[in-house]
Amino acid sequence: MQRIPLLAGNWKMFPTLAEATELARGISTPAIPAGRQVMLAPPAPYLHGVGEILRESGVILASQNICWEAKGAFTGEISPTMLKEAGGTMAIVGHSERRQIFGETDKMVNTRLLGALQHDIIPILCIGETLEEREKEQTLAILEGQLLKGLTNVPNHSRSKIIVAYEPVWAIGTGKTATSKQAQEAHAFIRTALADIFDKTIAEQIRILYGGSVNPTTVDELMAEPDVDGALVGGAALQTDSFLRIINYTA
Cβ–Cβ < 8 Å for 124, 233: no
77 tagged catalytic = no
| pLDDT, tens digit (0-9, with 9 covering 90-100), for 207-230 | 999 998 899 999 999 999 999 999
Task: Return the amino acid letter for 147.
Answer: L
Q: Is residue 214 classed as helix, strand or coil in its secondary structure?
A: coil
CA 81 to chain centre: 20
Among candidate residues 157, 167, 185, 187, the one labeled active-site is 167
Per-residue pLDDT, 178: 84
167 tagged catalytic = yes
Domain residue limits, the chain: 6-247
Task: Return the amino acid letter for 223.
Answer: M
- Using 50 as the pLDDT threshold, list the residues of the chain that sit under it: none
Question: Three-class SS string for 58-117?
Answer: CCEEEECCCCCCCCCCCCCCCCHHHHHHCCCCEEEECCHHHHHCCCCCHHHHHHHHHHHH
Among candidate residues 19, 95, 135, 144, the one labeled active-site is 95
Per-residue pLDDT, 1: 65
List strand residue ranges (DSSP E) for the chain, in order. 6-10, 37-41, 60-63, 90-93, 122-127, 163-166, 207-211, 230-233
CA dihedral 169, 201, 227, 245 (to 10 degrees): -90
pTM for this prediction: 0.97
Residue 91 φ/ψ, nearest 5 degrees: -150, 135
Quick one: which of 40, 37, 35 has its CA closest to 50? 40
Q: Which numeric CATH code is attached to 6-247?
A: 3.20.20.70
Handedness of CA 155, 166, 201, 146 (dihedral sign): negative
Quick one: which of 89, 112, 113, 106 has its CA closest to 38? 89
